[in-house]
Amino acid sequence: MTGINRNQSSAKHMLWLVIGKSIRSILMLISITMTARYLGPNNFGLLSFAISMTLLLSVFPGPGLDSVLTKQLLNNSNSQRVQLGSSMAIYLVFSIISFLLLMAISTIVADERSVWLLIAICGISYLPRSSSIFTAFFDSHLAGNYIMYSECIQAFLGLLIRLFLIYIKADIMMFVFAWVGDWTILFLVQILFFNKNFPQYKKWQVSTRVMTKILRQISPLILSGVMILVYQQIDKIMLKIMIDSEAVGLYSLALRLVYAGAIIPVLGVRSLAPKLLKSYKLNNKKQYNIKAQQLYDLTTFMSGGIMVSIIIAAQFIPYICGKSFSPAILIMIIASPLVLATSMGAASGQQMLTENLQYLAPIRNIIGCGLNIILNLVLIPRLAGVGAAIATVTSALTSSFFCMILIPKCRHIFMLQISSILTGFTRIIPYAIKRFK
């Protein structure tokens, strides 16, 4: 594939991903609000607690394997069947280990047998979550259309299943099975697309040498992944232990709605990432700095607009999800800066990856995770979900923004971030006008 054709394919691949993520987010947003309204704060909190417990251990092997596999497939085009087979073997082994750990931890954490059973059912999702291997394969082949098709089919069928469950007045257990079904549907659809469109890669092989190599590469990423997942999920677990299921339900709804808005600037970061990498490889420091500043200006500008939209949308929660969710309004308003923190984290993470500084990422993640746990311990007993929201926003901003000034090699990133917040609007509007002329 020539450079021009490769660039065109990359642009088309990214467009497919952006469209797919956008459609999926809308469908899942509808699904979440309808599920919350039907279950109510208490049962929705139990469902969220079970999912959070499961996600807490999903880092084994987690995102590290996906990114490493994509790189391996790109660099070893002649041994892709071995790379895929070995990665699947690693995933299956880690899935079993994760499930056993989940059962052991949930025995201590779950206060009722029914709660333990909800967590156990959620744990079944570890096996179909290996669909991320197919996503990595499609990513390496710039086949974003198959990722989009599979994710949209899964989100649409997931919405239909939940509508049916609401219609038949199903209990919470069925909604837990529906969550596991989401991953199962995604896994099966991606297998169908893989077998139909890439039959030459169907006969996978397992190599202990390749497995060892992949494990060595993902081991540094596991710690970073653990820290991210802990401060994304620990708040719900601590709320359940220290307060009750209703507090988890109110908090989970607010956070899910906020994170649904955060996906827009994150997609913006992903779409601009190839241009940033290209300017860095050209060794043109001035042009690279301009592209990097545009990246932060765009994410800050988009985040600001979405934060305002979230604050306005929060007022409609009682009408959409029921009056019992009215306390989630304040939580959602307080949590709205997570959009900025998430987009800043994505942008700085992309710049660190471009400049080969990703080995420093665990530092900020460890600081953010530690701060989150400490603040939750202090604030949750006093303020419940509001306290958890304050803790999450503070730790997320610290990890994605303030930590940059503490790491000497990342201080230039902090300067770009602060510039985008203070004066980014003076650059982004003229830039947008110029682009659309």
**Are 390 and 333 spatial neighbours (Cβ–Cβ below 8 Å)?**
no
CA distance 436 to 164: 45
Query: 286-301: per-residue pLDDT in tens?
Result: 888 888 888 888 888 8
pLDDT of residue 209: 87
State the chain's mean pLDDT as an integer: 85
CA distance 174 to 166: 10
Quick one: the chain helix, strand, coil %, rounded to 5?
A: 90, 0, 10
pLDDT of residue 433: 56
Query: 246-261: per-residue pLDDT in tens?
Result: 999 999 999 999 988 8
pLDDT of residue 436: 46
If you ran DSSP here, which 8-state letter would residue 397 be given? H
226: phi > 0 → left, psi -120 to 50 → alpha, else beta; which?
Answer: alpha
Which tokens hold the place of 213?
Answer: 């190599």
pLDDT of residue 347: 86
pLDDT of residue 129: 87
Q: From residue 25, how far is each of 29, 63, 106, 258 by CA, in Å? A: 6, 20, 30, 12
Query: 56-105: per-residue pLDDT in tens?
Result: 877 655 556 666 777 677 666 677 888 888 888 888 888 888 899 899 98
If you ran DSSP here, which 8-state letter would residue 336 be given? T
Using CB atoms within 10 A of its CB, is residue 334 exposed (0-12), middle (13-18) or buried (19+)? buried
Query: 213-222: per-residue pLDDT in tens?
Result: 887 777 766 7
Using CB atoms within 10 A of its CB, is residue 37 exposed (0-12), middle (13-18) or buried (19+)? middle
**Are 343 and 266 spatial neighbours (Cβ–Cβ below 8 Å)?**
yes
Which tokens hold the place of 172?
Answer: 């919470």
**Are 172 and 43 spatial neighbours (Cβ–Cβ below 8 Å)?**
yes
Secondary structure tally for the chain: helices H, strands E: 17, 0
State the residue for tokens 């602060």.
418
364 falls in which pLDDT band (50, 70, 90)? Answer: confident
State the residue for tokens 């009215």.
326
**Are 343 and 306 spatial neighbours (Cβ–Cβ below 8 Å)?**
no
Mean pLDDT of 240-247: 92
pLDDT of residue 61: 53
Query: 155-181: per-residue pLDDT in tens?
Result: 999 999 999 999 999 999 999 999 999
208 falls in which pLDDT band (50, 70, 90)? Answer: confident
Which tokens hold the place of 4?
Answer: 């021009």
Q: Kindly tell me if the per-residue pLDDT of 6 is higher than 70.
A: no
Query: 183-200: per-residue pLDDT in tens?
Result: 999 999 999 999 999 888
CA distance 94 to 121: 17
pLDDT of residue 77: 67
In degrees, rounded to 5, the angle at the alpha carbon of residue 337 between the alpha carbons of residues 333 and 341 is 155
Mean pLDDT of 13-25: 81
Task: Tell me the whole-structure pTM to 2 decimals.
Answer: 0.86
State the residue for tokens 């530690």.
370
CA atoms within 13 A on the CB side of 264: 19
Mean pLDDT of 118-129: 91
